[in-house]
């Protein structure tokens, strides 16, 4: 299996007043292609901070991060924002609990939006085919406000997948969904991993976590 | 879908706010275009009025030069007279190509307007006046038979006002004299449209001004040194020399201070519109902080976000600017009527002249000012860090 993410001693320290808060403390983690990894743990344990660092959305205070063979952070050096953006758009897709769909754009336009900024020429799927595959092909002309929570999350997944990323990061992807919709999203995630994408998700949902190949539990910023 | 359609849809998100901002831009564009059009139109019309005089120098009895200028341009009544013999004296100057004498007289006409008004009659020489006004064409009839004929030639508007046609009698109130309409002029777009022309001898007789004139119109030969010629004319006793160049300079000078005030107002309007643009776009950026963050996480470079926000500014300014330009075209005649009410002297013809160059220049000015205003909000949006933006929205 291809190693896509390798983190060593990844640490994030926030300064709160006069106090240092160790949100993530020396985490070592590897993620392989086609793996579905669930990060679980209590609220405030550092799950999301770890996910953001793995996804190059946040800089670690210490540690090394290698993504797809490239050193992103290490030896106190960090990549410039432009270089990080390049890595993000070529390798990552992100989905969030709050969906973050653009309310003035239709479903189809929301999925087309990343293509304005970057188009992976190797990508084979069109926005329409992706939306159909995710079961929202009949809603392409609708605005996000006209969709259910499950449909909105499917659109967000389609948007994250439009450039065929190697890694999909999901922060509480079922946090706003009922049990049935959560089950549907879980199935989608699993099929994506089976298709070769590395899926890393932060979740409180036990059913979702148990669908993963590997579960990592984090407490007080450390992996147990 | 492209960045322009995304920017367009973003503007539609808060329709009222976008419309109000575009309205402010439209207002400033309207002021700017109208002012530029007025600058051009007034000067063009003044030049045309002066060119249509047919002569370059006016000789009047000594007095106020502004009164003389008014006499020339508006048809006022001169209070002082020069002797008819002056025609021969001036004609003898080697620089002079042609001289035409004029005698302006006015009487109170109780039937004119709602409360009566002064009706002016211009006595002109049947031999020398028509060759100086070659642009005048007759709708019907022609010039007087001779300088003592009891005839009148009516300008187009004067004929309309008096409701007279060729052959009709025209009563001169106050002196109870009647003249026959010998000709009606076509519209010329000059002050002659409102003038009633009478033969010189007839006016002198009817108004008991034998041997007296109010002005001499002098056409000089080509390549004449005007300053030297004017100085020589001042050697004549009790005359006032008014050159058309002088009149034009005086009027444009008087107008320039008004122009500065209007220009300042236009500038204030543009600055207010710019403040509106900054406010609208910045608000829009702050409201979409999380969304901009997610766009950046999708792979948008800072320059992409900058371009998107700047495109919104450009669209807003383009819509506002074009609306303002169309508004100024639609209201040009209204603006002109308003300007005529406030200015003491306005030349005949269009005062607000708009064309593609003025519209294009104003549009580019508005666009440039708008884009300048959009720099800060666009820069701020481009600096958004994805995670911080999403956190800020969650908070």
Which range among A56-60, A185-189, B100-104, B252-256 has the greatest average pLDDT? Answer: B100-104
Span A170-183, pLDDT tens digits: 988 888 777 877 88
What pLDDT is attached to residue B169?
Answer: 93
Q: Check pLDDT > 70 for residue B208.
A: yes
In this prediction, residue A207 has a pLDDT band, given cuts at 50, 70 and 90, of: confident
Could you tell me what percent of chain A has a pLDDT over 90?
32
Could you tell me what percent of chain B has a pLDDT over 70?
94
Q: What is the DSSP letter of B221?
A: P
The number of beta carbons lying within 10 Å of the beta carbon of residue B108 is: 11
Could you tell me what percent of chain B has a pLDDT over 90?
33
Cβ-nearest to B291 among A52, A58, A100: A100
The whole-chain average pLDDT of chain B stands at: 85
A202 vs B contacts (CB less than 8 Å): none
Chain A's closest residue to B3, CA to CA, is A116
Q: Does A119 touch chain B (CB under 8 A)?
A: no
Which of B1, B311, B395 would best serve as a mutation to test chain A binding (most A beta carbons within 10 A)?
A: B1
Whether residue B1 and residue A85 make contact (CB cut-off 8 A), yes or no, is no
Span A27-50, pLDDT tens digits: 999 999 999 999 999 888 889 899
If DSSP codes are grouped into helix, strand and coil, which group holds residue A69? coil
Cβ-nearest to B299 among A85, A100, A112: A85
Span B350-393, pLDDT tens digits: 888 888 999 999 999 999 999 999 999 999 999 888 877 777 66
Q: Does A100 touch chain B (CB under 8 A)?
A: yes
d(CA B83, CA B106): 19
Span B225-241, pLDDT tens digits: 888 888 888 888 888 88
The number of beta carbons lying within 10 Å of the beta carbon of residue B187 is: 13
Structural tokens at position A121: 């020429």
Span A86-96, pLDDT tens digits: 888 889 999 88
Which of A43, A98, A102 would best serve as a mutation to test chain B binding (most B beta carbons within 10 A)?
A: A102
Of B308, B259, B252, nearest to B43 (Cα)?
A: B252
Give me the sign of the Cα torsion angle B179, B181, B185, B186: positive
What pLDDT is attached to residue B78?
Answer: 47
Whether residue B290 and residue A100 make contact (CB cut-off 8 A), yes or no, is yes
Q: Check pLDDT > 80 for residue B326.
A: yes
Structural tokens at position A183: 């089950």
Whether residue B3 and residue A89 make contact (CB cut-off 8 A), yes or no, is no
What pLDDT is attached to residue B67?
Answer: 60
Task: Report which of residues A70 and A200 the model is more confident about.
Answer: A200
Q: Check pLDDT > 70 for residue B72.
A: no
Span B1-36, pLDDT tens digits: 888 888 888 888 888 999 999 999 999 999 889 888
Which of B288, B298, B393 would best serve as a mutation to test chain A binding (most A beta carbons within 10 A)?
A: B298
What pLDDT is attached to residue A120?
Answer: 79
The per-residue b/e assignment along B354-384, b for 16 or more CB within 10 angstroms, e otherwise, is beeebbeebbebbbebbeebbeebbebbbeb
Of B365, B362, B377, nearest to B310 (Cα)?
A: B377
Of B395, B391, B292, B296, nearest to A56 (Cα)?
A: B296
* Over residues B37-47, mean pLDDT: 83
Span B140-178, pLDDT tens digits: 999 998 899 999 999 998 899 888 999 999 998 888 889
The whole-chain average pLDDT of chain A stands at: 87
ipTM, 2 dp: 0.83
Nearest-Cα distance to chain A for B326, in Å, is 29
Span B331-350, pLDDT tens digits: 988 888 888 887 767 777 78
Structural tokens at position B207: 């108004």
For residue B42, give every residue at least 6 positions away whose Cβ sits within 8 Å of its Cβ, in sequence order, or none. Answer: B255, B346, B347, B351
What pLDDT is attached to residue A109?
Answer: 93
In this prediction, residue A75 has a pLDDT band, given cuts at 50, 70 and 90, of: low
Alpha helix ranges (H) inside chain B: 3-13, 15-51, 65-74, 86-91, 129-132, 156-162, 200-206, 226-233, 244-287, 289-297, 302-330, 332-342, 356-382, 386-394
d(CA A172, CA A154): 14
What pLDDT is attached to residue B336?
Answer: 85
**Is B60 in contact with B240 (CB distance < 8 Å)?**
yes
In this prediction, residue A76 has a pLDDT band, given cuts at 50, 70 and 90, of: low
What pLDDT is attached to residue A73?
Answer: 84
Whether residue A117 and residue B387 make contact (CB cut-off 8 A), yes or no, is no
d(CA A88, CA A84): 6
Nearest-Cα distance to chain B for A212, in Å, is 25
Which of A56, A94, A110, A117 would best serve as a mutation to test chain B binding (most B beta carbons within 10 A)?
A: A117
Span A107-154, pLDDT tens digits: 999 999 988 888 877 777 888 988 988 888 899 999 999 998 888 988
- Of A58-62, B98-102, B342-346, the least confident: B342-346
Q: Check pLDDT > 80 for residue B77.
A: no
CA-to-CA separations, A68 to A3, B123, B236, in angstroms, rounded: 7, 100, 101
What pLDDT is attached to residue A224?
Answer: 82
Q: Check pLDDT > 60 for residue B66.
A: no
A116 vs B contacts (CB less than 8 Å): 1-3, 6, 300, 304
Q: Check pLDDT > 80 for residue B120.
A: yes
Cβ-nearest to A85 among B3, B301, B394: B301
What pLDDT is attached to residue B393?
Answer: 60
Cβ-nearest to A117 among B304, B393, B394: B304
Structural tokens at position B107: 């009487």
């Amino acid at each position: 299996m291809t190693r896509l993410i390798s983190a060593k001693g990844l640490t994030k320290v926030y300064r709160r007043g006069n106090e240092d808060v160790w949100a993530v403390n020396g985490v070592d983690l590897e993620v392989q292609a086609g793996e579905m990894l669930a990060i679980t743990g209590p609220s405030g344990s550092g799950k999301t901070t770890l996910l953001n660092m793995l996804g190059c959305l946040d800089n670690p205070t210490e540690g090394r991060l290698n993504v797809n063979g490239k050193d992103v952070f290490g030896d106190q050096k960090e990549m410039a924002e432009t270089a990080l953006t390049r890595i993000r758009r070529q390798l990552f897709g992100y989905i969030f609990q709050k969906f973050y769909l653009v309310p003035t754009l239709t479903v189809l336009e929301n999925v087309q939006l990343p293509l304005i900024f970057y188009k992976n020429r190797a990508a084979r799927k069109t926005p329409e085919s992706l939306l159909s595959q995710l079961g929202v092909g009949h809603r392409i002309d609708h605005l996000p406000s006209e969709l259910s929570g499950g449909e909105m999350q499917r659109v967000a997944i389609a948007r994250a997948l439009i450039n065929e990323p190697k890694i999909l990061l999901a922060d509480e992807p079922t946090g706003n969904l009922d049990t049935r919709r959560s089950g549907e999203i879980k199935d989608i995630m699993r099929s994506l991993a089976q298709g070769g994408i590395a899926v890393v998700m932060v979740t409180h949902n036990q059913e979702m976590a148990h669908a993963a190949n590997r579960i990592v539990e984090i407490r007080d910023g450390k992996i147990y | 879908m492209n960045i322009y359609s995304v920017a367009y849809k973003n503007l539609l998100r808060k329709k009222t706010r976008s419309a109000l901002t575009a309205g402010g831009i439209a207002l400033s564009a309207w002021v700017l275009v109208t002012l530029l059009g007025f600058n051009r139109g007034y000067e063009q019309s003044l030049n045309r009025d002066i060119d249509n005089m047919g002569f370059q120098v006016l000789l009047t009895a000594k007095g106020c030069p502004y009164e003389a200028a008014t006499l020339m341009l508006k048809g006022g009544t001169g209070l002082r007279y020069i002797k008819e013999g002056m025609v021969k004296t001036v004609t003898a100057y080697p620089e002079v190509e042609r001289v035409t004498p004029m005698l302006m007289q006015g009487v109170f006409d109780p039937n004119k307007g709602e409360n009566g008004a002064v009706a002016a009659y211009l006595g002109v020489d049947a031999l020398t006046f028509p060759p100086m006004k070659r642009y005048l064409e007759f709708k019907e009839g022609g010039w007087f038979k001779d300088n003592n004929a009891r005839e009148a030639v009516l300008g187009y508007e004067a004929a309309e006002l008096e409701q007279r046609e060729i052959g009709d009698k025209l009563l001169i109130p106050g002196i109870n004299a009647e003249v026959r309409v010998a000709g009606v002029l076509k519209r010329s777009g000059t002050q002659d449209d409102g003038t009633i022309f009478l033969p010189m001898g007839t006016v002198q007789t009817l108004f008991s001004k034998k041997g007296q004139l109010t002005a001499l119109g002098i056409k000089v030969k080509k390549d004449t040194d005007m300053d030297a010629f004017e100085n020589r004319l001042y050697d004549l006793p009790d005359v006032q020399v008014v050159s058309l160049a002088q009149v034009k300079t005086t009027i444009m000078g008087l107008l320039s201070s008004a122009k500065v005030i209007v220009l300042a107002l236009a500038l204030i309007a543009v600055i207010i519109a710019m403040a509106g643009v900054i406010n609208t776009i910045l608000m829009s950026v702050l409201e979409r902080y999380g969304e901009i963050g997610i766009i950046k996480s999708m792979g948008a470079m800072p320059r992409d976000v900058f371009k998107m926000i700047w495109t919104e500014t450009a669209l807003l300014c383009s819509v506002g600017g074009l609306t303002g330009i169309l508004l100024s075209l639609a209201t040009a005649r209204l603006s002109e009527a308003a300007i005529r009410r406030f200015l003491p002297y306005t030349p005949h013809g269009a005062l607000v002249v708009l064309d593609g160059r003025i519209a294009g220049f104003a549009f580019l000015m508005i666009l440039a000012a708008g884009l300048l205003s959009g720099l800060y909000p666009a820069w701020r949006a481009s600096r958004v860090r994805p995670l911080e933006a999403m956190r800020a929205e969650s908070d």
